[in-house]
Amino acid sequence: MSGLAIARDVAALRGQVAGWRRAGETVGLVPTMGALHEGHLTLVRRAKERCDRAVATIFVNPKQFDRKEDLESYPRSEAEDVRLLESVGCDLLFAPLDVAVIYPPGFVTRVSVAGLSACLDGLHRPGHFDGVTTVVSKLLLQALPDVAFFGEKDFQQQTIVRRMARDLDIPVEIAAVPTVREADGLAMSSRNRLLTPEQRALAPLLARVLNETAEAIAVDPTAEAAPFIAQARLRLGRGGFDKIDYVELRAADDLGELASLERPGRLLAAAWLGRTRLIDNVAVG
């Protein structure tokens, strides 16, 4: 029998959190879709460092998949996920077995963050961020943690979630945690396990190109970034990536478009190796 407490419905989740609250304890939340890796475990560790209790959630959210085949192929491994969460001292797992726990019959509400959701991944994955903000708003309200932890690998996502929480007066701090990487620089992602050995060997080029491009842009903040970005796209294509959705320089605070490095920036990219889409980003300046 697992030592990790598992809540399968909202009432059980709220009941456990309420008990901690009565004891004066703080709560950190780590929302995930499972298929956990060291990046997720780092978020749980950060939650344990900052809060008395750490809650992880596992829910493969159908509303954030723009392609049915992606939803069907998304890796699921609850038993292994539970083992990993136990290894880092997670206090509670909220893992509904039925989609209806999150989206009961008749559910029609959608949470959408205009502007921030319309660029980058929002252009290439229609409806994706509406699905993210809808489920995250529900998870925040269901658990009502003090702090929710998100990885910077999904930089656009954590920016959108922070804006959503602020706009809706959800009393939860949104904390960003730096991207965790493999030894060769590849950003850790549940999707990495879908790569073939040949694709996995090519994948670290994405991070390498982003880092080198960011360094080049930072040399002269007044210079136009477009030539450096064009070169980055060319390198990725020549390096074996099948399709490049975007490589863009954006403002770090609000994802506004930047022609040059007039304020702190973020270089973000999304590219495909076969049927697997990888995203990554690095700070600039």
Runs of H (alpha helix) within 30-188 = 38-50, 68-73, 78-87, 121-124, 128-143, 155-167
Residue 104 in contact with residue 122, Cβ under 8 Å? no
Task: Establish whether 34 is an annotated binding residue.
Answer: yes
Q: What share of the chain is helix, strand, coil (3-state, %, to 5)?
A: 45, 20, 35
Size (the chain), residues: 285
Residues linked to residue 270 through DSSP beta bridges, in sequence order: 246, 279
> What is the identity of the amino acid at 15?
G
Task: Establish whether 153 is an annotated binding residue.
Answer: yes
User: Is 128 a known active-site residue?
Assistant: no
Task: Establish whether 239 is an annotated binding residue.
Answer: no
Task: Establish whether 188 is an annotated binding residue.
Answer: yes
Task: Establish whether 161 is an annotated binding residue.
Answer: no
Closest CA to 65 of 191, 201, 215: 191
Task: Establish whether 39 is an annotated binding residue.
Answer: yes
Taking each helix axis from N to C end, the angle separating 10-22 and 128-143, rounded to the nearest 10 degrees, works out to 50
Task: Establish whether 98 is an annotated binding residue.
Answer: no
Residues 6+ apart with CB under 8 A from 105: none
Task: Establish whether 220 is an annotated binding residue.
Answer: no
> Cα dihedral sign for 241, 246, 250, 255?
negative
Tell the burial category of 105 from Cβ atoms under 10 Å away from its Cβ (0-12, 13-18, 19+). exposed
Task: Establish whether 128 is an annotated binding residue.
Answer: no
> What is the identity of the amino acid at 211?
N
Task: Establish whether 180 is an annotated binding residue.
Answer: yes
Catalytic residue among 30, 40, 143, 174: 40
Task: Establish whether 190 is an annotated binding residue.
Answer: yes
Task: Establish whether 38 is an annotated binding residue.
Answer: yes
Task: Establish whether 36 is an annotated binding residue.
Answer: yes
Task: Establish whether 46 is an annotated binding residue.
Answer: no
Binding residues for (R)-pantoate: 64, 157
Binding residues for ATP: 33-40, 151-154, 180, 188-191
User: Which residues are known catalytic residues?
Assistant: 40
Binding residues for beta-alanine: 64
Binding residues: 33-40, 64, 151-154, 157, 180, 188-191
